[in-house]
Amino acid sequence: MAVMLLVVCSAANAQNQRGQRGQRPDRERKEMTEEDKQKVAEQMAAEKKEFLNKKMMLTDEEAERFWPVYDLMQAELQEAHKVEMKATRSLHPKKGETFTDEEAARRVDEYIASLSLDNEIIARYNAQLKAILPVQKVAAYYAAEAQFRKKMAERITRRDGHGEGRGPAPDRQSGRGFGPDGPDRNGWD
């Protein structure tokens, strides 16, 4: 979820920067506040849980076991993402800053190490998921995660500079739109 929030915020900021260069002078741009970012994150988390629940078809008993493990995994993935973002930022020298070869090598090594954190967390939680759910539902979980990320990326590409959707856009595979005109309120099939 943190990755998706970053993508949403990055897309919004990139669009805001384009707007500040005069591409859309008829509209005023504003930065997202921390409160706005938190609301977006909460909304996305709720949408994601709804989507996963629908795709996985969890029984009440399975849901009772799955969601606490899922929440712990997401919290760890968010922390790993923060480490990765910090390592990524450290690769860019600040204005007037230069790196020695040794410093650049250290920063590159930290960055590469940060990339493996997600995989380590997912591998560890995969064993727990297989212990609490039938393997078919674990497979459905991973497929739904990938599908959710794809749908969110598609949604982001359809947004204008205000972060508001341009209205229902066709789903490339089904030809149906997202939003109120789509198959359900979130556009999930």
Domain count across the chain: 1
In a domain, 10, yes or no: no
First to last CA, the chain: 20
Range(s) of the domain holding residue 139: 68-158
Task: Specify if 169 maps to a domain.
Answer: no
Compute the distance between CA of residue 182 and CA of residue 168 in angstroms, rounded to an integer: 7
Q: What is the pLDDT of residues 55-99, one digit of tens each?
A: 999 999 999 999 999 999 999 999 999 999 999 999 998 888 888
What pLDDT is stored for residue 15 in this prediction? 47
Whether 80 is in a domain gets the answer yes
pLDDT average, residue stretch 106-134: 95
Residue 78 lies in a domain: yes
pTM higher than 0.75, yes or no? no
Q: Is residue 132 part of a domain?
A: yes
Confidence of residue 122 (pLDDT cuts 50, 70, 90): very high
Query: In the beta sheet, which residues pair with residue 159?
Result: 165
Cα gap 145→48, rounded to integer Å: 8
Structural contact between residues 104 and 81, judged by C-beta atoms closer than 8 angstroms: no
Predicted local confidence at residue 31, as pLDDT:
80
The verdict on residue 63 lying in a domain is no
Instruction: Give me the long-range contacts of 60-69 (CB less than 8 A, separation at least 24).
Output: 62/132, 62/133, 62/137, 65/132, 65/133, 66/129, 66/132, 66/133, 66/141, 69/125, 69/128, 69/129, 69/132
pLDDT in tens, 173-188: 444 444 444 444 555 5
In a domain, 101, yes or no: yes
In a domain, 131, yes or no: yes
pLDDT score for 18: 46
pLDDT of residue 29: 54
The mean pLDDT of the chain is: 79
Question: How many helices and strands (H and E) does the chain possess?
Answer: 6, 0
